[in-house]
Amino acid sequence: MTDIAIVSYAQAPMVRDAGCANEVELIMPVINEALQACGLARTDIDFVCSGSADYLQGAPFAFVAGVDALGAFPPIKESHVEMDAAWALYECYLKMLAGDIDSALIYGFGKSSPGNLPEVLSLQLDPYYLQPLCPDSVSLAALQARAMLDAGRCTREQMNEVVINSRRQAQKNPRAQLRKPVSQEQLQAEVDWIAPLKKSDCCPISDGASALVICRESQAREMGLPYARVVGMDHRIESHMLGFRDLTDSPSARNAAKSAGLHNNIEAAELHAPFSHQEILLRQSLGLSENVDINPSGGALAGNVMMAAGLDRIGSMAAAILRGDYKFGLAHATSGPCLQQNLVTILEAA
Amino acid sequence: MSSNPNESAGPVTMMQAPLYLQYRFTAGTSSLSFLHAIKRGRLIGRRCPGCESVYIPCRGSCARCGVATCDNIELTDEGVIDKFTVVHIPIPNNPIKPPFVVAHIRLNGADNAFHHLIGEVDNDKVKLGMKVKAVWRPESEWDYGLDNIRYFKPLGGEHD
Ligand SMILES: [Zn+2]
């Protein structure tokens, strides 16, 4: 148990193409919204950390230009991770635990529309053996889905159920990108895209940005702010080499969840599963019961802003707890091909 | 011969793995108003609603205040030399022959400066604070860029 409180979360609507908005224009509204919602001034924030990747939009040092959105005067303490902003939150979490800081602003942004995202993501693969082959992210996920189906770890119908649930949940989320309900019959009739995946099994490509604010519980109470308490956070990594892994299991997610404080009273889980079979894989690896409400926000299948979607899982779960929907929640973030890296956050109502 | 064939082949010091990615890059909403204006030979900046600073070219925010810039402000093509340096090193494929002066120009009414070249003056006569004016290319050559201005020259009578 920590004394770290999530007091604010803001998310821009997830869209297929944010038009000509640059990184500053994407980030600034969510930062201002997150700060205004909790009433902390910029000068009250001890540390700012962001997550983004310049390869997405094809603009070198966009992550530096993004700092223009912060009003970094007088000078601020600031850091960046070339990862999903869930890992930027993790950096802040560690600094809070170490006593370096007492509050932090975290933001993530992604503008994938200018490039070909599945190809851009091949840049994250090992540079000697895999990246020269340029395998796209959807094809690698399809290998994993095939392994799951062949091993009997999931069925086609179960994958469809994941999509149906995502669309059903997303209807409550005005910022979701894909909200149109689908039926088992419609999904069965859909043609394969990259077999065995159909388009509906894959997250959409999204542009957007999100921001989140944390501080000490004592400060949140003093200011009279509602908050969700961070029970624990941890992240673990699978081998870089896909051939060394059992693609049908996620020991890293399991170990991270255990270390973060996973318990049997979890009522809801936001799982960062960009592909339908990965939600099933994560539910199994984490041992979540049938009663756990999965992805009340709609999850990544309803909108997946690269470098913000993991933070969105944590922010969405915190927001659901703040609304009083749940007392205990789990949020999961992933990065890399086929759920290579997994970060788990356990949250609870204050 | 070594018993290890890899050893006899020597170390691999380089491997080529070319990758080509294509992007449909976008400059940003506020950059767009600057680019459309300069195509027509006009200079458009933006004002911060908080501290009233005017930025040209503008990327959409006041980096000092962290708020979105608002009104478009038209500026003249006259300003002052904020900083400058004399470049002595030739740049490959650059038609400009050294030594030449690169300066930070702050347009009148602007609170930031941008890079440009200085012309029609001896390099050793360039001074900080010198008043300068843009020398434009012919209108037929105008495109979406600051190089529609060929260089800035001292305003008459300002240099000795
Ligand atoms: Zn300002």
Kindly report, residue by residue over A92-125, the tens digit of the pLDDT: 999 999 999 999 999 999 999 999 999 999 999 9
Q: Which of A224, A231, A203, A243 is nearest to A330 (CA)?
A: A231
Q: How far apart are CA A101 and CA A91, in angstroms?
A: 11
Q: Which residues of A183-218 are buried (b: 16+ CB within 10 A; e: fewer)?
A: eeeebeeeeeebebbbebbbbbbbbbbbbbbbbbbe
Mean pLDDT of B33-57: 95
Instruction: Indicate whether B107 belongs to any domain.
Output: yes
Query: Mean pLDDT over all residues of chain A?
Result: 96
Q: How far is the CA of B73 from the centre of ligand 1 (A)?
A: 15
Instruction: Indicate whether B3 belongs to any domain.
Output: no
Instruction: Indicate whether B85 belongs to any domain.
Output: yes
Whether B91 and B31 share a structural domain: no
Which residue shows structure tokens 């006899």? B8
E strand or H helix that includes residue B73:
strand B72-75
The residue among A126 and A277 whose pLDDT is bigger is: A277
Confidence category of residue A343, pLDDT binned at 50, 70, 90: very high
CB atoms within 10 A of CB B145: 10
Whether B86 and B160 share a structural domain: yes
Mean pLDDT of B119-129: 96
pLDDT at A80 over 50: yes
Mean pLDDT of A280-307: 98
CB contact under 8 A, A25 and B28: yes
Whether B62 and B28 share a structural domain: yes
Indicate the Cα dihedral angle B153, B154, B156, B157, nearest 10°.
-160
Instruction: Indicate whether B84 belongs to any domain.
Output: yes
CB A40 within 8 A of CB A224: no
Report the pLDDT value the prediction gives residue A180, as an integer from 0 to 100.
Answer: 96
Please classify residue A159 by burial: count the beta carbons closer than 10 Å to its beta carbon, then call 0-12 exposed, 13-18 middle and 19+ buried. Answer: buried
Report the pLDDT value the prediction gives residue B160, as an integer from 0 to 100.
Answer: 44
Residue A25 sits at the chain B interface (C-beta within 8 Å): yes
What's the gap in Å between the CA of B11 and the closest CA on chain A? Answer: 15
Lowest mean pLDDT among A307-311, B20-24, B63-67: B63-67
Whether B61 and B131 share a structural domain: no
Which residue shows structure tokens 């740049």? B91
pLDDT at B158 over 50: no
Q: Find which of B22, B48, B61, B65 to mutate to test the A interface (most A CBs within 10 Å of its CB).
A: B61
pLDDT at B1 over 60: no
Q: How far apart are the first and last CA of chain A?
A: 12
pLDDT at B2 over 60: no
Mean pLDDT of B80-89: 96
What's the gap in Å between the CA of B34 and the closest CA on chain A? Answer: 13
Whether B87 and B105 share a structural domain: yes
Report the pLDDT value the prediction gives residue B96, as an integer from 0 to 100.
Answer: 87
Q: How far apart are CA A344 and CA A13, in angstroms?
A: 24
Report the pLDDT value the prediction gives residue B4, as an integer from 0 to 100.
Answer: 66
* HSE-up of residue A141 (Cα within 13 Å, Cβ side): 25
Kindly report, residue by residue over A156-168, the tens digit of the pLDDT: 999 999 999 999 9
Above pLDDT 90, what percent of chain A?
92
Whether B63 and B100 share a structural domain: no
Q: How far is the CA of B48 from the centre of ligand 1 (A)?
A: 5
pLDDT at A193 over 80: yes
Whether B125 and B84 share a structural domain: yes
Whether B82 and B56 share a structural domain: no
Whether B87 and B152 share a structural domain: yes
Above pLDDT 70, what percent of chain A?
100
Instruction: Indicate whether B18 belongs to any domain.
Output: no
Which domain does B61 fall in, by range? Answer: 24-75
Interface confidence (ipTM) of the complex? 0.87
Report the pLDDT value the prediction gives residue B157, as an integer from 0 to 100.
Answer: 59
DSSP secondary structure letter of residue A340: -
Looking at the partner chain, which of B15, B21, B30 has a beta carbon nearest the beta carbon of A58? Answer: B21
Report the pLDDT value the prediction gives residue A173, as an integer from 0 to 100.
Answer: 97
Instruction: Indicate whether B15 belongs to any domain.
Output: no
Whether B154 and B110 share a structural domain: yes
pLDDT at A347 over 80: yes
* CATH number of the domain enclosing B114: 2.40.50
User: What structural domains does chain A harbor?
Assistant: 4-115+205-223 (3.40.47.10), 117-201+230-349 (3.40.47.10)
Question: Measuring CA to CA, how many Å separate A287 from each of A21, A148, A257?
Answer: 42, 16, 10
Confidence category of residue B3, pLDDT binned at 50, 70, 90: low
Q: What's the full length of chain A, in residues?
A: 350
Q: How far is the CA of A70 from the centre of ligand 1 (A)?
A: 11
Whether B94 and B140 share a structural domain: yes
Report the pLDDT value the prediction gives residue B63, as an integer from 0 to 100.
Answer: 87
